[in-house]
Amino acid sequence: MKKLIALLLVLLTWTGAARASEGGIAWDKFPQQKLTELGALQNGAKLFVNYCQNCHAAAFMQYSRLTDLGLTEEQIKSNLMFPTDRIGDTMKVALDPKSAKAWFGGLPPDLTVIARSRSVQGQGSGADYLYTYLRSYYRDDTKATGWNNLAFPGVGMPHVLWELQGQRAAKFTEVKDALDPSKSVHQFAGYEQITPGKLSALDYDNAVGDLVAYLQWMGEPSQVKRTHIGVGVLIFLAFFTFIAWRLNASYWKDVK
């Protein structure tokens, strides 16, 4: 219970900070089909372990649950676990809370259900937000981390995927404020690539899609299976509703 309460508090803090930063760019649509692609989910799990789990835990997800993604226990142990972890352990992180507070100003949030918690009506789903957020970083020397984000202006988290995407600068232009012509506002005018990444722009977007698909799956591992079962149940009910209707008509046809 204490762990659950702590997770909820962290998520509320994270969401509150994110909503306080509203005014960023519109969210892009997450490629939803990746939720049904085992290869994408497996790659997303690898990216999560390699780039996210150094700071962010998924304390309500057991490593053993990754077998649902088509991975064997041996593959999980060899590629996705620390040597000291056991297959039944949850995806915790060794980051010391005091060090985290000193480095980042607070404990990085648990990501088990982050994709489910970040949806905003009228903006999109939590997956849409994460997909946009992880593709909107740019260099900003005025920030302590050296990074800023168009989807979350003033973000405290550095760009952990920068080696894959490369370093970019954001270009802004001065335009007249529509509400007050005497004032000017910054308007985003695109990115300028400073250094190349290990991946092309298209491959990077695809990798982020895989990572977000895993985060979405992790928040509800039975989501895809539940959807398939639901479709089957609806077809079953429709078929037997038709049979019941015809039986009813046949039973009462001689009754006047």
Q: Of 17-31, 38-52, 237-251, which range is least confident?
A: 17-31
The reply to whether 26 falls in a domain is yes
Q: What is the model's pLDDT at position 10?
A: 40
Q: How is 146-168 classified by DSSP, letter by letter? A: SEEESSSTT-SS--TTHHHHEEE
The reply to whether 252 falls in a domain is no
80 CB-near residues (< 8 Å, 6+ apart): 45, 46, 49, 63, 66, 71
Q: Residue 43: name the closest of 173, 216, 209, 188 by CA.
A: 209
Please write the tens of the pLDDT for every residue from 65-77: 999 999 999 999 9
- Alpha-carbon distance of 212 to 216, in angstroms, equals 6
Q: Of 95-99, 132-136, 191-195, which range is least confident?
A: 95-99
Q: What is the model's pLDDT at position 2?
A: 40
Please write the tens of the pLDDT for every residue from 192-234: 999 999 999 999 999 999 999 999 999 999 877 787 788 889 9
Q: Which amino acid is at 48?
A: F
CATH number of the domain enclosing 67: 1.10.760.10
The reply to whether 19 falls in a domain is yes
The reply to whether 256 falls in a domain is no
And the tokens for 197? 């990444």
State the residue range of the domain holding 131: 2-221
Q: What is the model's pLDDT at position 23?
A: 53
Tally the domains of the chain. 1
Chain position carrying tokens 């519109």? 26
Q: What is the model's pLDDT at position 19?
A: 43
The reply to whether 242 falls in a domain is no
The reply to whether 74 falls in a domain is yes
And the tokens for 179? 């509400």
The reply to whether 197 falls in a domain is yes
Strands 184-196 and 166-176: antiparallel
Q: Residue 153: name the closest of 166, 172, 168, 140 by CA.
A: 140
Average pLDDT over residues 152-180: 91
3-class SS of residue 68: helix
The reply to whether 73 falls in a domain is yes
